[in-house]
Amino acid sequence: MRKVTVNGLLARKLRLALTALAIVLGVTFVTGTLVLTDTLNRTFDNLVGTAYQHISFEVRGKAVFGSNTVSGTAGRRPIPASIATAVRGVPGVAYVDPQVQGYAQFVARDGDAIGSAASALGFSFDPNRQLSAVRLVQGSPPTTGQDVLMDKGTATKYHFTIGERVRVVSGRSPQMFTITGIVTFGSADNLAGATLAGFALPTAQDLFNTRGQYDTLNVLAKPGADNISLQRAIAKLLPPDVQVVSGQTAANELTSAISNALSFLSTALLVFALISLFVGAFTIFNTFSITVGQRTRELALLRVVGASRRQIFRSVLAEAALLGLAASLIGLGLGVLAALGLKALLGAFGITLPSAPLVFEARTVVLALAVGVGVTVVSAIGPARRAVRIAPVAALVDHHEEEPESVRRRATAGSVVAVGGIVALVAGLAAPAIALVGIGAVAMFIGAGMLAPIVARPMSSVLGRPLAAILGTPGRLGRENSMRSPRRTAQTAAALMVGMALVSALGVLGASLSASAKSNLDSAVTADYLITGPNSGFSTSVAPAVARIPGVAVVTNVYKGQFELGGTLSGIDGVTPAHLSQTVHLALTAGRGAPALAAGELLIDTTTASAKHLSVGSVAPVTFAQTGASKITIGGIFKTNPLIGSYVVGAPFFISHFHNPLPIAVLVSAQPGASHVGSAINNYLNVYPNVGVKSRAQFEQSQQHTLNQELGLVYVLLALAIVVALIGIVNTLMLSVFERTHELGLLRAVGMRRGQVRAMIRSEAVIIALFGAVIGVIIGTALGVAFAASLKSQGITEIAIPFASLIGFLILSAVLGLAAASWPARRAAKLDVLAAIAAD
C-alpha cells in the first residue's frame, strides 16, 4: 500500500501542489511569527544583560502598586540623595552610581522632533563609567548644565558633530545644549531604536524634576565580597519605602516585562496564522473530497483486489500526512524569510529593531510541523471516511454516480454545530473568554460550511441568472455547472466564506469604532482646540503661554496617571477646574462638577459608581505612589465617557499627589468671534516640536487616520486568509476542468469557441465566489455587531454597519473569483479537442 500511496501522490503532483500551497502559506506565517518573536526576545535579553552586567545591586523605591511595565518606574518614588552617601559607606561596596532618567527628545535642524516620544531616553551619565553599558566613543563627558551626549545613531543619521548645538525637548521648556560626546549602548548605535541623551547628574535632576533625589542607585560590590551579606547590610540602611535587589533580579524583572509584551505580539500574529490555516483546512478538505471522488474506480479496484477498508483509510491519510509534511518543510524555510519581512513591516509602523541573527529554535520546527501536518491530516479525515465506503463493484461499472446525500441528516448536524458555535461565541463574548470565542467561531464556521450546500443550488441559480442573461449560452452552462453539484460549490466557496466573514466583521468593528470615537469626542470635549504631545507628557509652560495668546478664552490642562482605589489599580485624570465646562463636558448625574474638583474631591463615572457602590459623599480609601495611602470624598458622578476615563480630580490635587506631573493634553476654548487663534497657537508651538495643536475637526480626522492605519494592518493580515481561499477556488476549478475533459471536448467539437469556454469557466468562478462572499458577509456582519456590542464597556458606544464597504467586499469577491478563474479557464480553452473527446 505504501507504493500505491506514494505513486498516487506523484501522479497528481500538479493538483496537489496547489493544495499544498495553502498549508505552505499558513506554516510560513506560523514559523515567521515564532522566529521573529524568539529573535526579538533574544535581542532584548542580550540588551538587558549588557545593561546589567556590571551591576551587583539596584537600590530603588518600593513599587507602591505592582505594575511591571517596561518603563520600570511605574509606581516607584524617587529616593533621597542622602541614601547614596549612606550606601557608599557600607564596607564591601566598591562604587555607587546614582541614576536619574526621563523623557528627553532631540530636535533636528529642520525643527521636527527626532524619533518617537516613546523611545527618547534621557539619563544621567556617570563620568566614572564603571557600571553603565553606555560607552563614550567620542568626545568628553558632559560637565556643565549646557552639555549633552548624543547616541551614535542619531548623530550619524542627522549629521550632528561634537561642538554643535542641539535643541532638546523634555518636561521642561525646550533648551539648547552643546554636544560634548557621542555614545553607544554596548556595541549598538542606540538602545533598540531608542535615542539616548546623556546629561551631567545635576542637569538630569533638573530636567526630570528630581532635585536632591535619584531614581535608582546602581551598586558595584568589591571583588571577593559576599554578596548576600552585603545586600543585607545595605538593606538595613534603607528607609521602609526603599529596597535593594540584586542586579540579576532587576534584570529579570525587565526581561519578563519585555517578554510579556512580546508574547502579546506573538499571540496576535499567531491568531492570524491560525486563521489562514483554518481557511486552508477547508481547501484541503475540498481537494481531498474531489480527488477521492475522481479516484473512485481506482480505489474500488484496490478493494476488489483485496485491500481492506482500514488500509484504504490509512492510505488516504498517509497521503495527507506526506503532503502536509512536504508543505510544512517548505513553509519552515519560507517562514525564516518571512520573519525578515515581518521585521520590516513592524519597522514601517514605527517599531524599529536592532539587526541581529535570527533565532531558530527546535520548538519552532516541532510546532510548525505539528500544525502543518495536523491540519492537513484532520482535514482529510472526512474524505478518507468517504473513500472507505466505496463499494468494490464501482470498479466494474462504467458510469459512477455521486452518492446521494441525506439532506435531512446534513441539515440537523449542521444546525447543531452552528447553533452550538453561536452559543459558545456569545457566551465567550459575555464572559469574556477569548478561547471560548475562538472555539465558538470555529464551530460556527464549520456548521455554516455544513449547511451551505443546502442553499447552494437556489443561490447559484439566482446569482447566475444575470450572467446567463449577459453571456448567453456560456453563462448558462457556467450557471448550470455551479448548480450541478451543490456540495462541491459550497465546499469550494466555504473558504472564501470564512475569509469574507472575518473581513466584514472587521469592517463593522472598524466602522463602529470610528462612529464611537467621533461621538465620544463630541460628547466629551467642547474645546475648540486640542494640544497634544508625547504620552509621557510635555512642558507645563505650554498652557500659561497659550493662555496669553489673544483670542484664547479658556485653557485646561489634562493630566493622566495611575492610582489605587479600594485595592484596584486604575487610571485617573486631572483637569484644571476653572471654566471647565467651556472645554470639557461632564454630564453630571449627581453632585457637583468643577466646584467638587476645586475642593479636592473625586468625580467618578456611573459605571464605577454602581460597580463599587459609591455615591456622592462616600469616602473611599486611595493610594498614590508619591503620597501613599489616604482617603478621598466623592464629589460628583458623571455619565460614562471612554475619552474621559472613570476617575477625575482637579489639577492642583493631581500635581500634589504625583511626582513630576506633566500634562498630556491642553484643551483650548476660543473667545466667540476670535479668529486665527489656531494659527497663533501653531506658531507658538514651533518652539515645541513634540507638541501639536489641532482643531476639534482635525483631531477627529487624525483619530480616524490612526484608526484606519491600525485597521489597515489587520486587513493586511487577513489578506493572507483570502489568498488561501482563492487558491482553493483555483484548485477546485482546475480539478473540475480536468474532470470534465470529455465534456469540454464535446462542447468544442460541437462548436463552442475558446472564448466561450473561458467565459463559461469564469462565470462558474464568479458564482462560486459570490456565493461564498454573500454568506460570509452576512455572517461577518452579525459577528461584527456581536463583537462591537460586547465591547460597549471598552468604548464602542455606537454600532455602525458600513454598507458601502460591505457591497465593495462583494464586488471585490466577484473580481477575485474572476482572477482565480483565469488559469483554469485558459487550461480549459486550450484543451486539445481530439484528445478530450477520446478521454474517458
Residue ranges binding other proteins (CB under 8 A)? 401, 472-473, 476-477, 480-481, 483-484, 742-743, 746-756, 833-834, 837
Smallest distance, other proteins to C-beta of residue 399, A: 8
Q: Are 588 and 636 in contact (CB under 8 A)?
A: yes
Q: Which is nearer to other proteins, 120 or 477 (CB)?
A: 477
Task: Please choose, from the candidates 650, 524, 649, the residue with its C-alpha nearest in 3D space to the C-alpha of residue 581.
Answer: 524
Smallest distance, other proteins to C-beta of residue 813, A: 24
User: Within its chain, how far is the Cα of 172 from the centroid?
Assistant: 34
- The three-point CA angle 113-116-119 to 5° equals 125
DSSP string, 516-528: HHHHHHHHHB--S
Q: Which is nearer to other proteins, 42 or 754 (CB)?
A: 754
Q: Are 68 and 257 in contact (CB under 8 A)?
A: yes
Total number of residues shown for the chain: 840
Task: Please choose, from the candidates 809, 729, 802, 735, the residue with its C-alpha nearest in 3D space to the C-alpha of residue 766.
Answer: 729
User: Within its chain, how far is the Cα of 298 from the centroid?
Assistant: 48
Q: Which is nearer to other proteins, 236 or 399 (CB)?
A: 399
Q: Are 60 and 235 in contact (CB under 8 A)?
A: no
Smallest distance, other proteins to C-beta of residue 766, A: 17
- Supply 171's cell numbers: 518636561
Helix H or strand E encompassing 448? helix 434-471
Q: Which is nearer to other proteins, 157 or 742 (CB)?
A: 742
Smallest distance, other proteins to C-beta of residue 293, A: 15
Q: Which is nearer to other proteins, 452 or 836 (CB)?
A: 836
Task: Please choose, from the candidates 731, 723, 742, the residue with its C-alpha nearest in 3D space to the C-alpha of residue 824.
Answer: 731
- Supply 243's cell numbers: 529596597
Q: Are 217 and 185 in contact (CB under 8 A)?
A: no
Task: Please choose, from the candidates 463, 459, 424, the residue with its C-alpha nearest in 3D space to the C-alpha of residue 444.
Answer: 424
Q: Which is nearer to other proteins, 99 or 482 (CB)?
A: 482
Smallest distance, other proteins to C-beta of residue 753, A: 5
Q: Are 826 and 818 in contact (CB under 8 A)?
A: no
Smallest distance, other proteins to C-beta of residue 754, A: 6
Query: What HEC string does 65-93 produce?
Result: CCCCCCCCCCCECCEECHHHHHHHCCCCE
Q: Which is nearer to other proteins, 275 or 829 (CB)?
A: 829
Task: Please choose, from the candidates 462, 454, 461, the residue with its C-alpha nearest in 3D space to the C-alpha of residue 486.
Answer: 454
Smallest distance, other proteins to C-beta of residue 405, A: 16
Smallest distance, other proteins to C-beta of residue 406, A: 20
Mode of pairing for the β-strands spanning 602-605 and 552-565: unpaired
Q: Which is nearer to other proteins, 62 or 400 (CB)?
A: 400
* Alpha-carbon gap, residue 229 to 561, rounded angstroms: 38
105 Rama sector, left if φ>0, alpha if ψ -120 to 50, beta otherwise: beta
Smallest distance, other proteins to C-beta of residue 486, A: 13
The dihedral sign for the CA sequence 482, 483, 485, 488 = positive
Q: Which is nearer to other proteins, 304 or 746 (CB)?
A: 746
Smallest distance, other proteins to C-beta of residue 290, A: 17
Smallest distance, other proteins to C-beta of residue 839, A: 10
Q: Which is nearer to other proteins, 419 or 834 (CB)?
A: 834
Smallest distance, other proteins to C-beta of residue 476, A: 8
Q: Which is nearer to other proteins, 501 or 747 (CB)?
A: 747
Smallest distance, other proteins to C-beta of residue 840, A: 9
The distance in angstroms from the start CA to the end CA of the chain is: 26
Q: Which is nearer to other proteins, 379 or 481 (CB)?
A: 481
Using DSSP, state whether 676 is helix, strand or coil. Answer: coil
Q: Which is nearer to other proteins, 407 or 838 (CB)?
A: 838
E-only strand ranges, 684-812: 692-695
* Alpha-carbon gap, residue 100 to 122, rounded angstroms: 8
Smallest distance, other proteins to C-beta of residue 484, A: 5
* Alpha-carbon gap, residue 243 to 504, rounded angstroms: 52
> Which residues partner with 59 through β-bridges?
217, 244
* Alpha-carbon gap, residue 31 to 328, rounded angstroms: 10
Using DSSP, state whether 691 is helix, strand or coil. Answer: coil
Q: Which is nearer to other proteins, 547 or 838 (CB)?
A: 838
Smallest distance, other proteins to C-beta of residue 739, A: 11
* Alpha-carbon gap, residue 653 to 598, rounded angstroms: 8
Q: Which is nearer to other proteins, 165 or 753 (CB)?
A: 753
Q: Which is nearer to other proteins, 749 or 815 (CB)?
A: 749
The CA dihedral of 24, 27, 28, 31, to the nearest 10 degrees, is -160
DSSP annotation of 359 reads: P
Smallest distance, other proteins to C-beta of residue 742, A: 6
Q: Which is nearer to other proteins, 245 or 746 (CB)?
A: 746
User: Within its chain, how far is the Cα of 457 from the centroid?
Assistant: 39
E-only strand ranges, 598-724: 602-605, 619-624, 628-638, 647-650, 665-670, 692-695
Task: Please report, as a single letter, which amino acid is at residue 767.
Answer: I
Q: Which is nearer to other proteins, 135 or 484 (CB)?
A: 484
Residue 366: CA count within 13 A, CB half-sphere: 3
Smallest distance, other proteins to C-beta of residue 838, A: 9
Smallest distance, other proteins to C-beta of residue 35, A: 49
Q: Are 794 and 506 in contact (CB under 8 A)?
A: no
474 Rama sector, left if φ>0, alpha if ψ -120 to 50, beta otherwise: alpha
* Alpha-carbon gap, residue 329 to 326, rounded angstroms: 5
Task: Please choose, from the candidates 74, 77, 125, 76, the residue with its C-alpha nearest in 3D space to the C-alpha of residue 98.
Answer: 125
